[in-house]
Structure 1
Amino acid sequence: MKSSIFINTFSIILASFFIMPILGCNKKTTEFATRNTASNKPSMQVVTDTATFAAGCFWCVEEQFKQLNGVLSVTSGYTGGTLSNPTYEEVTSGNTGHAEACAIVFNPQVISYRELLQAFFVAHDPTQLNRQGNDIGTQYRSAIFYHNSEQKELAEFYINALNKEKAYNQPIVTEVSLFKTFYPAEEYHQNYYENNPDKAYCRLVIQPKLEKFKKVFKEQLKK
């Protein structure tokens, strides 16, 4: 699927959504489970909201969303499973039910949840079931963990509309689930691409994805 065609399709879908009643999102930050990891808290003077997305390896997702103007912080972690305080090794076993995910704290006065959804559908291939490329397993599944009914409605609306428009060659398999608890990943996972640009995975997997993402959203990038 060509990115420009997708953006045009998404814009048409976005415009059609505004015919529906506009619903305000509940502006609040997410309370994370406790883990000893560095935090990047936004200013208390800024009204914030949180989006939680799973789109394959969280190293890729983190670096992509960090680029967007209005995104205040991105934390890599685990959510969607049953095990409390999981470790990376436990999640990669595929037995915890958790997905690698990112908690994205943003300023809704600068970037909307709708725009973040658009970025989500460009950032990865939402038609791949329980995998992204060579990263295979339920921990790499495509998922949107909604924090309120407005986020749920928007996510389901876009998935249905994109499937109807056949924006992809295959149906979208993105899971839409209620957010419960987010466990920040170990410190060495945070800002992974920024701290390890010469690693093979960063050069061969993350960098091409990041370049494509930045090209598509060049008008929305941080200066």
Structure 2
Amino acid sequence: KWGLLKATKYLLTGLFVFILGFIPFTQGNLPQFVLTRLNISAGQYPYTSVNAFNFWGLSGFWKPDNVYFQFSGYIMIIAATIILCIRRAKKKLSPYFLITFVFAASFMFFTRMHERHLLPVFAPLAIAVVDNPIFLLPYIGFSLIYVMNLVYSHFWVSNINTVFNCFGNCPNGLRFLLDLNRQKNIMGKSTFADKEINNKNEEQKKFIRKTTGHKTYEKKI
């Protein structure tokens, strides 16, 4: 069990590290800069779900957010956390499972969530799996949801309507992999073209030597 002094030390250390990340970008008045950036970030996406596969995404993505939805999300997260803490006191659940639950509940019920906000779940959940292998099932489940959510967001940004349509048209379902291969092919074709040009230059030089009987000289830079 943590004492009040130990918990305070950890909270202050975390706050210090958090503020430390703002220092390279501020030009004076650090507290005001931190508050301004947080305020801008909080109001940047006023929608219930920004392509996130969560509770609010069930009714559709990019729906206008409001204080009632936000307050409802807070209530659901607080209530779920309190219930789990009570169960942990009785059954002594793993603290890493508790952290995982808080992160997962935040992703599920907070508004303005992006698909990437599910990522913090995996660090404590991986430790919980070591403690109890049964947690491997939710780890695999969250992994599948996370990958599917990332792929969906990729296709949404790319204005592609067909997602995971591997049965009807596999290239559309694997477009995110094909894009990587296309970039590699472009680089490969560029290198191949350079080699072809060099070969043609060498052939032209040999032809000139044979027809004129003179050597060609290249300028050295």
TM-score by length of 1: 0.23
* Higher helix fraction (1 or 2): 2
TM-score relative to the length of structure 2: 0.23
From the CA coordinates, give the structure whose radius of gyration is larger: 2
Q: Would you tell me which structure has more strand in proportion to its own residues?
A: 1
